[in-house]
Amino acid sequence: MNPKTRRLLIRNFLLELLVYAVLLTVYFLLALRFLGEPLSKLFHLNPIVYAGASLVLIVVQGVALEWITSFLIVRLGLERLE
């Protein structure tokens, strides 16, 4: 890989990280704002449902947001580093 292509791909990767970081931050702020109280109640009332909800929330934050990022990166026409 020549240096110019490498620089371009690294720039694209950093752009991808930036988009991902914004989505991650928005997600946790929304979760804290709207799910804080319901989750707190669920924690005390129904631990099994709380456990399932916890796993779903953390997986969604990692995976679904990455899919959205990938979708946006494709729409922006940026080539990925892999």
Partner 1 sequence: MDFPISGVTINPFFLIGIGFVVGLLGGFFGVGGGFLAGPLMFWSGVPMNFVVGTDLAHMTGKSIVAAKRHRTLGHVDVRLGIVMTLGTLIGVEIGARIIEALKAAGNIDHVIGITYIVILLAISGFTAWESISALRLSHHQTADEARKDVVAFGRLTQVVQSIHLWPMIAFPGSGIEAISLWVVVGIGLLTGILAGSLGVGGGFLRMPLLIYVIGVPTHVAVGTDLFEIMFSAGYGTLTHAVKGNVDILMALVMHTGAALGAQIGAMSTRYFAGPRIRLLFSLLPLIGAILVLVRLLGVDMPAF
Rounded distance between C-alpha atoms, residue 82 and residue 9, angstroms: 9
Question: Counting beta carbons within 10 angstroms of the beta carbon of residue 69, is it exposed (0 to 12), middle (13 to 18) or buried (19 or more)?
Answer: buried
How many Cβ atoms are within 10 Å of 16's Cβ, its own excluded?
Answer: 19
The correct pick among 5, 59, 71, 74 for binding partner 1 (CB under 8 A) is: 59
Q: Per-residue x/- marks for partner 1, 6-45, CB under 8 A?
A: -------x---x--xx--xx-xx--xx--xxx-xx--x--
Nearest approach, Cβ of residue 33 and partner 1 (Å): 11
CB atoms within 10 A of CB 17: 11
* Binding positions for partner 1, rule: CB under 8 A: 13, 17, 20-21, 24-25, 27-28, 31-32, 35-37, 39-40, 43, 47-48, 50-55, 57-59, 61-63, 65-66, 81-82
